[in-house]
Amino acid sequence: MDGHALMNGLGFFKRLLGNQTADGHRVEPQAALGARMLVVDDSPTICAVLGKMLHQDGYAVLKATGGAEAIELARRERPALIFLDVVMPGTNGFAVLRTLRHDPLTRDIPIVMISGNPQATEQFYLQRFGADDFMQKPFGRDEVYLRIGQLVRSGRLDGRLPTAPAAAEALPALAEELSADELADIPDIAMPDAEAAPRRVGTALLRVVPGIG
């Protein structure tokens, strides 16, 4: 094998495995700098934590604490990616997913479902309901970046250009314009709210979203 073919082969495996640092640590590909990410969760804490993670990687963050608000924001803003909680009062996450997948304006937006509810987790893996991926609470930034990286590699999200400026330079402040101390107070791990633990995803809820295509 000549040197040119060898380099091409190495390049293929590098793209397949993702970029790595010198010590072998995997670095996930990033979505386009400034890409709008919609976080939907009835917990302000989860919205703040996930919003902080996304902002630190250079994304613009939109937030919704209810299903109806999420649908309106998704239609109006056309985010690059939606992180959607399953268990919410009123319009639950599965119903939001169904609505978005049947709307021509939003049906192609990648959606990652999130939940700390064991029944919701099991139901997602059994039927998926048309979502792209799932994260179980609690989760950290590495898991968030992994999900984004997988969507970039699959072509569902546009990747970041190598010449893009550092995230901190491109997005110097959160949309809420939090102070440095307020930002530091936001945890680095997204934990389910304690009051949400008794909630259950009952069979009645699951029956309202059959057969999403």
Give 6-42 pLDDT, tens digit per residue: 444 444 334 444 454 444 445 789 999 999 999 999 9
Of the pLDDT bands very low, low, confident and very high (cuts 50, 70, 90), residue 161 is: confident
Q: Which domains does the chain have, with CATH numbers?
A: 30-157+175-192 (3.40.50.2300)
Token look-up 């390049």 returns 11
Contact 131, 97 (CB under 8 A): yes
Q: How far apart are CA 63 and CA 171, in angstroms?
A: 17
pTM as predicted? 0.71
What was the pLDDT predicted at 169? 54
Task: Tell whether the model's pLDDT for residue 189 goes beyond 50.
Answer: yes
Whether 70 has a pLDDT exceeding 70, the answer reads yes
Burial class of residue 92 in the structure, from the number of CB atoms within 10 Å of its CB (0-12 exposed, 13-18 middle, 19+ buried): buried
Q: Highest mean pLDDT: which of 53-62, 121-130, 204-213?
A: 53-62
pLDDT in tens, 88-116: 999 999 899 999 999 999 999 999 999 88
CB atoms within 10 A of CB 130: 18
Q: What's the rounded Cα separation, in Å, for the pair 119 and 183?
A: 33
